[in-house]
A and B are shown apart, each in its own frame.
Chain A
Amino acid sequence: MRTLPFLVIAALILVGGLFLPQFVGNPYYFFAGYVVLQYVVIATGWNILGGYAGYINFGTSAFFGAGVYVAAFLIKAFGAPLPVQILAAGVVGMLLGVATGYLTLRIQGVYFSIATVALVVVLETLIHNIDYLGGASGMQTIAPPAPAWFGGQTQYVFCAMLVLAVVAVVAARFIERSWIGRSLRAIKASEPAAEACGVPTLSMKLVACAISGAIIAIAGAPYAYYASHVDPLSAFSLTIGLNALAMPLIGGTRSWIGPVIGALLLASVQQIATVTISSEFNILAVGIVLIAFVVLAPEGILGLIADLKEKLRRRGARP
């Protein structure tokens, strides 16, 4: 997709979404839409490190949880408004990304992934021991009321998440097409060769970690507002880490649109399954779909589409 149509579509989605509360009454749609959009942000953030650079992060929920608790802290301490919570979560996520990256990116491949699992445990344990943030049992987060224009709390956080999703996707697309994206793809292909091209691999990986961490953390920030209650179990939930890598893999990790497709599909299916079957069914569904894609379409939906195009082209070329 060319840049101008892309930006026009992004702007239309943004404006359309922001006016949605004026036309749709039932708050449940915003409730469900929030979760779907939240996963668009998470999957997009994850893909910058996991898809472009090939560093699989199992610790997504650490970054998400950090965002949740930064927001919770700001609500409790200062009654800070949502935009401030989001910005602060982004900064903390970025710092956390750089710190994690600095400690772990010297180890390559699967060892990096293992190290990110530890990060979740470390942060969750940390929160368990901070009484001010409610410890293991969590705490209420009574946020300041939403601006009246949005018509309610749920509509307000939905719109906030929509803005975040559009910003995250635009950023991911920009990164993908810039020299940063090219450097990351070179790192994924071969780190020594990237170095030989003069790509400072460690710095580039740190940049990817910082951006990825920031995006995932801002996805967590509105949660405190949305749920009015935070606890370590849901903030550092396994489901988030699992979805974060399942969605880009299902959609396709090579391009910005892959995680978007994966997140829209999988998160919608999960929302429908929660209402119609049971909420416990979610994880099972993710597992089954993930295995199916790994076996049948390792390049995700984008790969399937590319194969299909190739087949059609060949058929067309044949007399």
Chain B
Amino acid sequence: MNGLVLENVCAGYGAVTVLHDVSLTVREGELVALLGMNGNGKSTLLNAILGFVRPSAGSIRLDWEGESTELSGREPHRVVDLGIGYVPEGRRLVPNLTVEENLRLAAAGRSRPDLKDNLAFCFETFPILAERRRQLASTMSGGQQQQLAIARALMTSPRIMVIDEPSVGLAPIVVDQMIQAIKTLQSEKNMTILMAEQSFFQAVEVASRAYVLAHGRVVHAIEHGLDADAIETIRKAMMGVD
């Protein structure tokens, strides 16, 4: 099976352990939502996948086309090279580079013959970026910047996209559009996506499955489909009312 498999991952900062025994799976073609309120370990989990935080225990594995690659302990750019596209929280674009330069940057230093294809794919997916390709990233609106951040991750030819809180700092109507755009990436472009989010309702509406993190543990995992009952249970789990 193609996918990303986390088994019993523990990670933290110095003496503080943030993640306790986290296990989750993202299968090819899925849009998996990672839910939880602020401070429950969502970003730490994504940072551990990317290699910014080194797990103290457990394994993070990318299984693809019969090959199994351990990701933990590798530097972030290696993890990206292995096929994990990353959209950081707060977008983190290069403000004084243009849209196109930001995109080309993500292919920098690699011999990827598919740079042109990727660029065309990004512009086709997010037409506004094609229109503004010569504009500085810093002069675009929040929603456009988020699109650029996602497109930048697409430039690395990812097998799995890891998106950290795409809704941060956006107006409610833009949040809807953004989540829908991510859904479209999965449903129409066959991208595999792991998305951390706290906009609960928008996220569960589009997700194939969901995990709820509380105090650094997976307190709830929806393994198959999200029906009304499942949504109610995870809402309670997320708010900590059950």
Contacts and interface: CB of A to CB of B under 8 A. Distances in A.
B94 interface: yes
B75 interface: yes
Contacts of B50: 195-196
B224 interface: no
B194 to A, nearest CB: 14
Interface in B127-152: 152
Given A190-B92, A193-B92, A198 B108 contact: yes
A182 interface: yes
B92 A198 contact: no
Nearest to B47: A192
Contact of B80 (A182, A186, A195, A204): A195
B177 interface: no
Interface residues of B, number: 28
Interface in A186-236: 186, 189-190, 192-202, 204
Nearest to A200: B77
A269 to B, nearest CB: 29
A318 to B, nearest CB: 20
B108 A193 contact: no
B104 A199 contact: no
B115 to A, nearest CB: 10
B80 A196 contact: yes
Contacts of B101: 182
Given A193-B94, A194-B105, A204-B109, 16 more contacts: A179-B105, A179-B109, A182-B101, A183-B105, A189-B94, A195-B80, A196-B86, A196-B153, A197-B80, A197-B105, A197-B156, A198-B77, A198-B81, A198-B108, A199-B105, A199-B109
6 contacts: A179-B105, A179-B109, A185-B94, A196-B76, A198-B156, A200-B75
Interface of B: 50, 52, 75-77, 80-81, 86-88, 92-97, 101, 104-110, 152-153, 155-156
